[in-house]
Amino acid sequence: MNAQKIVQLLRERNETITCAESITGGALTSELVSIPGASHVLKGSIVAYSTEVKVSELKVEPTLIQEFGVVSEEVALAMAQGVKAKFAAEWAISLTGVAGPGSSHGVPAGTVWLALLGPGFEETVKLELMGEREMVRRGAVESALGVLERILSA
């Protein structure tokens, strides 16, 4: 299980993580907190489902959203930067996307941007997931866990 390995790796490294979630609505954080010992590594999480919360709580610049759209690499990165600063964690991960059904603001359902920040590390990943709404959301969580495990294991 990815979440168990992630908690273990973070504990071994004596590092912490925080999450900023939109499309996944807290499901990534839920996966992490389901693991005993998560309290040692998870500092907090923000579900920034609305644009207003992305701006007010994660300090995403409104001009960034206007220029690139809420589902973009730039906004995913800004969300991760905002939550990392807010909780002073070594690692931060964010997810923003369109679960469907149908597109949103011209972005097709299944489009997800993930951003991961860590000590001297930055990566963004664009996912194009298929399926119904819950399949897209689940795929986003599984992809995020996979990216986290891959990076922390390196």
For residue 130, the SS3 value is coil
Q: Tell me what pLDDT residue 95 has.
A: 98
pLDDT digits (tens, 9 = 90+) for 14-68: 999 999 999 999 999 999 999 999 999 999 999 999 999 999 999 999 999 999 9
Cα–Cα dist 61/6, whole Å: 30
pLDDT at 105 > cutoff 90: no
62: preceding bond cis by omega (within 30 degrees): no
**Which domains, from first to last, does the chain contain?**
2-153 (3.90.950.20)
Query: Which conformational region is residue 12 in: left (phi greater than 0), alpha (psi within -120 to 50 degrees), or beta?
Result: alpha
Q: Tell me what pLDDT residue 100 has.
A: 96
Q: What is the pTM of this model?
A: 0.97
- What value does the mean pLDDT take over residues 67-94? 98
Show the tokens assigned to 89. Answer: 């964690």
For residue 50, the SS3 value is coil
Q: Tell me what pLDDT residue 1 has.
A: 66
Sheet holding 111-118, edge to edge: 42-47, 17-21, 91-97, 111-118, 121-128
Tallying the residues shown for the chain, one arrives at: 154
pLDDT at 149 > cutoff 90: yes
Residue written as token pair 């390995």: 5
For residue 60, the SS3 value is coil
Burial of 36: CB neighbours in 10 Å, binned 0-12, 13-18, 19+:
exposed
